[in-house]
Amino acid sequence: MEEVIDETPTVRTLIFKDDLCASAKPGQFTMAWMPSTDELPMSVMISEREGYAALTIRKHGYSSTALYNTSVGRMLGVRGPYGNSFDIAKGRVLLVGGGTGLVPILRLSRELAKRKSEKSDVMLIIGARTKDEVIFEKLAKRVLKKVKSKVIVTTEDGSYGIRGLATDAAEKAMEKNCFDMVYTCGPERMMKKVLELAASHKISSQASLERIMKCGIGICCSCCIGRYLVCKDGPVMDGNTVLKLPEFGVHARDKSGRMTEMW
């Protein structure tokens, strides 16, 4: 571990040197591990340092807290990257991210920004509960500065940016603009609403899903959603496919495999 950045009181970004992770495709994930703790699936965050990658962790459970509490010089285990990636669309695109779901969205943003010759037009909506929880706004603007772009921040309490939900801003954006693709990652109920909005406007969409994973390579089946495995068939999936899954945005599985209601 070479650098630790505090993003919010409960979110940190860990920066490390790794050629494989540094070259991960937008949407791919690693299985991250701290000694004496469990592995966690983590989307690969971008780093502005060549040959470096990063993980952005929200302190929540035992394993995520162990990752969050690590320090410079400590050992970090990563394997991967695994999974598929976002399709890179041409034309005008809308990206909607909430919380640490912005991690794959930012890697996708960087890829879109590289394709200047294709006249990329990018609108990125960042959703947070409060001003203190807004992350990556400045980084997103730096990443997208060389293409036509707009970064919009929403907060539920109105303490920063536009008052309301990211989905409210996404709805207004789709009503006023003709997009060629919508991408989303974040809380599942947020993603469900974004995908439903895209479908109602007949816009292609993709979402990066999250589920509990134990192996990350399609053996344990702990990440199943419908007939799909998020680690092998995802984590990026087509919006129309996702919306046909009855449990999406409603139920998930705990570590024992039991179906639980999603709050």
The residue extents of the domains of the chain are: 3-82, 91-208, 211-263
Please report the pLDDT score of residue 31 as a whole number.
95
Tell me the pTM: 0.92
- DSSP helix/strand/coil, 105: helix
Evaluate whether 179 touches 157 at the Cβ level (below 8 Å).
Answer: no
Backbone region of residue 73 per phi and psi (left: phi > 0; alpha: psi in -120 to 50; beta: other values) = left
pLDDT tens-digit profile of 189-234?
999 999 999 999 999 999 999 998 989 999 998 999 999 999 999 9
Instruction: Return the closest-CA partner of residue 57 out of 114, 90, 11.
Output: 11
pLDDT digits (tens, 9 = 90+) for 125-135: 999 999 999 99
Residue pair 185/208 in contact (Cβ under 8 Å)? The answer is yes
Q: Are strands 121-128 and 259-261 parallel, antiparallel or unpaired?
A: unpaired
Enumerate the H helices of 88-152 as residue ranges.
Answer: 102-114, 137-143
State whether residue 92 is helix, strand or coil: strand
Mean pLDDT of the chain: 91
**What's the CA gap between 17 and 80, in Å, rounded?**
14
Domain 91-208 in CATH 3.30.1310.10? The answer is no
Pair type for strands 11-17 and 52-58: antiparallel
Nearest to 79 by CA among 14, 27, 11, 28: 28
SS3 content of the chain, % helix, strand, coil (to 5): 30, 30, 40
Distances (CA, A) of 255 to 59, 78, 83, 217: 18, 21, 20, 16
Please check whether residue 170 is in contact with residue 203, taking contact to mean a CB–CB distance below 8 angstroms.
Answer: no
**pLDDT tens, residue by residue, 83-99:** 999 999 989 999 999 99
Helix (H/G/I), strand (E/B), else coil: 39: strand
How do residues 50-74 score in pLDDT, each as one tens digit? 899 999 999 888 788 888 888 887 8
pLDDT in tens, 5-21: 999 989 999 999 999 99
Q: What fold is seen in the domain 3-82?
A: Elongation Factor Tu (Ef-tu); domain 3 (2.40.30)
Query: Cα torsion at 75, 81, 82, 87 (round to 10°)?
Result: 150
- Which residues have C-beta within 8 Å of that of residue 117, sequence separation ≥ 6? none
Per mean pLDDT, which range of 52-61, 103-112, 232-241 is the poorest?
Answer: 52-61
Q: Beta strands 39-43 and 92-98: pairing type? A: unpaired
